[in-house]
Structure 1
Amino acid sequence: MNNKITGLRAMEILDSRGNPTVRVYVELSDGTQAVASVPSGASTGENEAVELRDGDKKRYAGKGVLKAVENVNKVIAPALMGMHAHEQAAIDYKMIEMDGTKNKSKLGANAILGVSMAVARAAAASANIPLYQYLGGAGARRIPVPCMNILNGGAHADNSVDFQEYMAVPVGAPNFREGLRYVAETFHVLKGILKDRGLSTGVGDEGGFAPNLDSNEDAIETIIQAIEKAGYKPGKDIAIAMDSAASSFSIDNKSQYDLKWSGAGKMDSEGLIKKAEEWLDKYPIVLWEDPLAENDWEGFKKFTEKLGDKIEVVGDDIFVTNTEYISRGIKEGTANSALIKLNQIGSVTETIEAVRMCRDAGWRYFISHRSGETSDTFLADFAVAMDGGHLKTGSASRSERLAKYNRLLEIEQELGNTSFYYWK
């Protein structure tokens, strides 16, 4: 194949929060060119791959990525020249070997991932096939259910809501196009409800509203009100998914918690699990991400034992898209699903391996964006390629989120009646 890497360079750009991130350009011997931009997280697990920052307080408060850019231009590029772009695993593992650290702290996960994504996109273009088909094969045709983040709290907003994300999930829609309409309409109705209550309709990092509410429970009840007012049936047409991001309100990052805004105050893992049981009896919740803190392995296991037969229990900060931690979770019964984030592990190949491990164990896997995003739509194609069935990529506002949804609309139209869509 005439698709050898002949050009590779990076530059510093800004993400959706106005912070620097890495963009990578690649050119192949057949003239193919491709570009990829790397996302960035705010709510991060302590074991995530390292996003290399400059630390120079005179530039972007130390958040510059010129070191990562230099690593692409001066270290990675010379090493990859002449390699075939379709050799994704060989390219990714060559960069991992060059880095030589467990968490990619030498070259930077942002440098490695930028190259990894750009190479995959270039290889797909060179083969003249869509990225989702290149990564997922000819059978990649399942469009994910959009778990739309319509109300923010925690680390993604400056308000009186402990939990980080409340998502509307169009489980009853016949296809992605209609599912997106269901939740977008609910989002706009929710805005009107908040406005009528005299509450803020400003949005958080991922585009969800970020009002000061009376409690965490008030957030759920307000969303249910919006679902009904939009003309849908809670639980049948639209369900609810949660992301507690419990590490953000854990006192010891293990088993002690402080729900300041729920009225519950301080509690241990057992108390938090009991609260979750009460909510599941009252509300149409189908998925709960990070219900316990990232080091609360025992609490996570108890949560899954009690509630895992009712809902999808997703580990994010506890697993960080890393097969080492996912493997432990599978052995210990910690959860029944893992959140999958490309930049959490730092290469396309390793992300696919994490998905494969979940699939082989009979777990689900939940493809996810980051709070600091770009207009890059790689994630949309990746979600279709991985056949996970559901995706979270923000709300019905902010163009960097809508770019992913719009790309999925394109893919669904391209696949026509060969595409399919369902929650389970």
Structure 2
Amino acid sequence: MASIERVKVTQILDSRSNPMIEAEVQLTDEILTRATVPFYESTLLLGGFKQHDKWPESQDFEKINRIIGPELIGKNPTDQTGIDNCLLQLLDGAVNEELRAIGLAVSIAVCKAGARVMNIPLYEHIANLARNKTLVMPVPAFNVINGGSRAGNKLTMQGFKILPVGACSFREAMDMGMRIYFHLEAVIKTKYGQDATNIGYEGGFSSSIQGDNEALGLLKTAIDYAGLTGKVVIGMDVAASKFYGTDKTYDLNFKEKKNDGSQKISGVALKSIYKSYVAEYPVASIENPFNQDDWEHYSNLTSEIGEGVQIVGDNLLANPKTVEKFINKTTCNSPFLKVKELLIRLCIRKKVETEGEITIPKMVEMAINKKSCNALLLEVNQIGSVTESIEAVKMSKLAGWGVMASHRGGETEDFIADLSVGLAMGQIKTGAPCWSERHAVYKKLMQIEEELGLEATYAGANFRKPVEPY
């Protein structure tokens, strides 16, 4: 069987012209695979301060290649767990996944190589790694209205999504999503004017909508106009950590600097708002409804409406940590510590956008025990390896949770398409049906469904629990 002959890590640009890691794995039989991972999106917290210095330099990658590459040469690319464990050792067991974008890129490239060696599709290889026997096409969660800190409108919440749960296939779900997207554009033009259909980062409309309730009303109208009432539900990505203050209140007017504080509310009041939206609109999923440390209100909301509504933990299942203790280590006598020291320097100089958020299986386990939410948002680049992604998904499913695969801003990789099918996640969030990097994932999913033919199963209304735990 072919073994790994060469590993190379370099830097390219993502879809937003920010730095991105690319890993290249070549086997002895000349099979060559590549994988990319954006690493600028999570801010490295160092002693409480965000670092916004320089981008990584070419000599840094040369040093990394001299250390990581030789450790993997000769290894069997189908031994995903073994290689991922090796990469984890090379990073000296770092818990802070921000230090592991490079390892993840290599992990994904190895996974692709393993599929090639086995001569099976990537999604099937991933299913085999997880011992999952049922492949499921996910329900796409189209982010069609952008708000929060990512848009210059009055919307407090970061994103509003539509999920075509009433479709019979993924291709039909895409058709439903496009129909609503175009109807929504028409509704926005009619209400706000011809120039009101600006597009945000995620491909959603970032119009001058005056409030979250108004945004939900627009979505309901667009769904009705498309003739899809009852077949499409709504999801909200609140990103509540963005408007949570040191006084432990939520400022619904956080976009207005130095405001009078009249729109600051408690977690209990915010919970009541969510419950009113669920009562009035077909809301089936709420992501990041509270601050990442607000376990109490997460638990209460899940207890009160979790049976009928998916409460998605993203920031909650994150564990931002400082790496100050690693920086303070001035003596590095082993190659492992040298790799980590080098990765730390890379991360300190990286260009970043949002706060440090690192999803790890340990945080999933804690949330399960606290019954704080009932769904996992899986962003692979926050986990660190393919093996850990599989572990987090299996743990979530065993707890009866839903699992939503998610892209990261700027990524150009379609790996999450194969991952979502292979692990039978049931749902996937990768932006609106707009922008080429979003289309790449949707296109790959349509190709997978065509390959599966009559064996293709669409999650549909079972998007929260498409299969039994495996």
Structure-2-length-normalised TM-score = 0.82
Quick check: 1:21–1:39 contact (8 Å CA) kept in 2? Answer: yes
Q: Superposed, which structure 2 residues align to 1:22-421 within 5 Å?
A: 22-40=21-39, 42=41, 44=42, 57=53, 62-64=54-56, 66=58, 69-70=61-62, 72-100=64-92, 101-104=94-97, 108-137=99-128, 139-196=133-190, 197-198=192-193, 200-233=196-229, 236-252=230-246, 255-260=248-253, 265-320=263-318, 321-374=359-412, 376-421=413-458
Closer/same/farther in 2, CA of residues 416 and 222 from structure 1, 3 Å limit: same
Quick check: 2:19–2:40 contact (8 Å CA) kept in 1? Answer: no
CA distance in 1, matches of 2:56, 2:431: 25
Closer/same/farther in 2, CA of residues 367 and 104 from structure 1, 3 Å limit: closer
Alignment partner of 2:196: what SS? coil
Q: Which amino acid aligns with 1:200?
A: A
CA distance in 2, matches of 1:368, 1:120: 18
Choose 313-322 or 408-417, whichever is displaced more: 313-322
Q: Deviations over 1:307-357 (max 9, x none)?
A: 111211110011133111111111111011111110011111111110011
CA distance in 1, matches of 2:200, 2:144: 10
- Superposition RMSD on alpha carbons, in Å? 2.2
Q: Which amino acid aligns with 2:227?
A: G
Counterpart for residue 323 of structure 2 = none
Quick check: 1:289–1:313 contact (8 Å CA) kept in 2? Answer: yes
Q: Which amino acid aligns with 2:301?
A: F
Q: Which amino acid aligns with 1:27?
A: Q
CA distance in 2, matches of 1:410, 1:300: 38
Choose 271-280 or 68-77, whichever is displaced more: 68-77
Gaps of 5+ in 1: none
Higher relative contact order (CA 8 A, sep 6+): 2
Q: Which amino acid aligns with 1:195?
A: K
CA distance in 2, matches of 1:160, 1:149: 17
Counterpart for residue 9 of structure 2 = 10
Alignment partner of 2:172: what SS? helix
Q: Which amino acid aligns with 2:6?
A: G
Choose 189-198 or 380-389, whichever is displaced more: 189-198
Gaps of 5+ in 2: 256-260, 319-358, 463-470
Superposition deviation, residue 72 in structure 1: 4.3
CA distance in 2, matches of 1:247, 1:183: 28
Superposition deviation, residue 159 in structure 1: 2.6
Quick check: 1:147–1:390 contact (8 Å CA) kept in 2? Answer: yes
Q: Deviations over 1:54-83 (max 9, x none)?
A: x6x4xxxx2446577345422211111111
Quick check: 2:18–2:40 contact (8 Å CA) kept in 1? Answer: no
Choose 72-81 or 216-225, whichever is displaced more: 72-81
Superposition deviation, residue 264 in structure 1: 7.8
Quick check: 2:78–2:117 contact (8 Å CA) kept in 1? Answer: no
Choose 172-181 or 364-373, whichever is displaced more: 364-373
Superposition deviation, residue 156 in structure 1: 2.9
Rg larger in structure = 2
Q: Which amino acid aligns with 1:8?
A: V
Superposition deviation, residue 140 in structure 1: 4.1
CA distance in 2, matches of 1:131, 1:255: 45
Quick check: 1:22–1:65 contact (8 Å CA) kept in 2? Answer: no
Quick check: 2:135–2:423 contact (8 Å CA) kept in 1? Answer: no
